[in-house]
Amino acid sequence: LSFASSEISLHKRGYKTAMGIAPLKENLAAGLLRMSQWKSSIPLVDPLCGSGTFLIEAANIALDIYPALNRSFLLEKWFDFKQDIWIEEKELAANLKNKPRQLPLIIGCENNEEIANQAKSNISAASLDDVVEIRTGNFQDLQLPRKHGFLVCNPPYGKRIGNDIDLPSLYGDLGNFCKKNAAGWNLW
């Protein structure tokens, strides 16, 4: 026996209006970022950002934006639902979001202009245009911030994107980029 508490899966945050063929689930990206123990005072760069999921989730974490804040749930119609507690908790979460803070440095790079535009569209849908920067071009040409930071990415692995022929070259190039440019950075 189970009860559905929401109409759609909780991993769907509502900002991914544009997606490629192998999107990373939002809750997985958020969980991985939390595991990494990244702090918003440290630059975060995704050299293969795709539709921008890691970047948007990082910005949400840094700004204390809770993904379900503006969402309704089926549980709100349950007979024992406590509306006053629900409203109080949502107000607490909203107040955290509104605290003044320094904006984090979050940068994504995408070689494919169409996919880079998808990332920009998703960032706009999440109202994070002033927080996340997308650069279009090859990651090998990407200038990392001077301050050491976190490099995160979900590179193609040959199932839905990429193929067995291209992957060794891509992974070699990514490794060389990290050795040359990301000494002292955390890599995830």
Please, which pLDDT band fits residue 173 given cuts at 50, 70 and 90?
very high
Instruction: Please give the Cα distance from 117 to 67 (Å, whole number).
Output: 22
| Neighbouring-strand partners of residue 45 | 107, 151
Please, which pLDDT band fits residue 10 given cuts at 50, 70 and 90?
low
| Neighbouring-strand partners of residue 134 | 108
| Neighbouring-strand partners of residue 53 | none
pLDDT value, residue 157: 64
Under DSSP, the state recorded for 16 is -
Counting residues of the chain whose pLDDT is more than 90, the rounded percentage is: 52
Please, which pLDDT band fits residue 166 given cuts at 50, 70 and 90?
confident
Instruction: Please give the Cα distance from 53 to 28 (Å, whole number).
Output: 10
3-state SS of 127-171 is CCCCCEEEEECCHHHCCCCCCCCEECCCCCCCCCCCCCCCHHHHH
Contact of 129 with 87, CB cutoff 8 Å: no
Q: How far apart are the first and last CA of the chain?
A: 38
Q: What's the pTM?
A: 0.81
Gyration radius of the chain over CA positions: 18
- The length of the chain is 188
Give the chain's mean pLDDT: 85
Cα–Cα separations (whole angstroms), residue 95 to 41, 91, 92, 126: 20, 6, 5, 18
Q: Is 63 helix (H, G, I), strand (E, B) or coil?
A: coil
123-162 per-position pLDDT tens digit: 998 889 999 999 999 999 999 999 999 999 988 765 544 5
